[in-house]
């Protein structure tokens, strides 16, 4: 099964994607984490990627497609994946369709998490991430606080604020989203693959609730 997680940066795609991964038994791939892994390795590709994401801009289609397709060819992806943060553009989506078609596969569903820009900014600037690459647990200083300030509950590592989670970068990321990714939502809607979930930060609906809703929809589908 191949699932696409769509939504603005900070809408909860990663959290819900990981929960679905555990329930469905297929791997979750975050393009953001994939790209940041190259940044940590440095080298020419890492420096090129950093020059884009540090400013809140998208990694160019050609490079993004190359790195994601390389990841999808690894053995742990043979039963399907949940893709979080890719594709970001219609061109990337079309190239992904071509890649999957060559491997006799296809996208089964595109899940869109809908959240207002105001709620997104409030979420992201208060987001903290575990610095341990083997953990990467996500927290929020308002509604998902760590038990000990600045320390990950799961592994005890330091919590950090990513450079691309600072307000100026978030505003640029939202601008980029509206310019490119809204067309992507229409692309999957026109293919009758879109399932949208509306989220209000004050509604009390948790990531667990969203994941269960999506899972129920998949079972019924």
Give the contacts of 57 (CB within 8 A, at least 6 positions apart).
172, 176
Using a 10 angstrom Cβ sphere, with 0-12 exposed, 13-18 middle and 19 or more buried, the burial of residue 101 is exposed
Distance between CA atoms of residues 150 and 139, nearest Å: 10
Q: Which of 13, 36, 123, 128 is catalytic?
A: 13
What b-and-e string marks burial along 199-220, b requiring 16 or more CB atoms within 10 Å of the CB? Answer: beeeeeeebeebbeebeeebee
Concerning whether 128 is annotated as a catalytic residue, the answer is no
Distance between CA atoms of residues 219 and 122, nearest Å: 33
Rounded to 5 degrees, φ, ψ at 155 are -125, -5
Concerning whether 127 is annotated as a catalytic residue, the answer is yes
Concerning whether 71 is annotated as a catalytic residue, the answer is no
Angle (CA) 72 48 94, round 5°? 40
Q: Which of 18, 36, 88, 136 is catalytic?
A: 88
For residue 131, give the DSSP letter: S
Concerning whether 212 is annotated as a catalytic residue, the answer is no
Q: Which of 8, 18, 136, 173 is catalytic?
A: 173
Q: Which of 8, 36, 123, 127 is catalytic?
A: 127
Using a 10 angstrom Cβ sphere, with 0-12 exposed, 13-18 middle and 19 or more buried, the burial of residue 54 is middle
Distance between CA atoms of residues 106 and 81, nearest Å: 11
Q: Which of 162, 189, 205, 212 is catalytic?
A: 162
Concerning whether 36 is annotated as a catalytic residue, the answer is no
Residues annotated catalytic, as ranges:
13, 88, 127, 162, 173
């Amino acid at each position: 099964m191949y699932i696409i997680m769509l939504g603005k940066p900070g809408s909860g795609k990663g959290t819900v994607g990981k929960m679905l991964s555990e329930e469905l038994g297929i791997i979750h791939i975050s393009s953001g984490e994939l790209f940041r892994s190259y940044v940590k390795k440095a080298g020419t590709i890492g420096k090129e990627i950093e020059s884009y994401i540090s400013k809140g801009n998208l990694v160019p289609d050609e490079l993004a497609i190359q790195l994601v397709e390389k990841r999808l060819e690894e053995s742990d992806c043979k039963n399907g994946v949940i893709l979080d943060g890719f594709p970001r553009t219609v061109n990337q989506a079309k190239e992904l369709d071509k890649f999957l078609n060559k491997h006799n596969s296809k996208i089964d569903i595109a899940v869109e998490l809908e959240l207002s820009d105001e709620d997104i900014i409030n979420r992201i600037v208060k987001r903290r991430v575990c610095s341990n690459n083997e953990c990467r647990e996500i927290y929020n200083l308002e509604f998902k606080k760590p038990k000990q300030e600045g320390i990950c509950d799961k592994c005890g590592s330091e919590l950090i604020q990513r450079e691309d989670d600072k307000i100026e970068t978030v505003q640029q990321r939202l601008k980029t989203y509206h310019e490119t990714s809204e067309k992507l939502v229409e692309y999957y809607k026109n293919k009758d693959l879109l399932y949208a979930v509306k989220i209000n930060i004050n509604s009390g609906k948790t990531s667990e609730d969203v994941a269960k809703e999506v899972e129920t929809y998949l079972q019924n589908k």
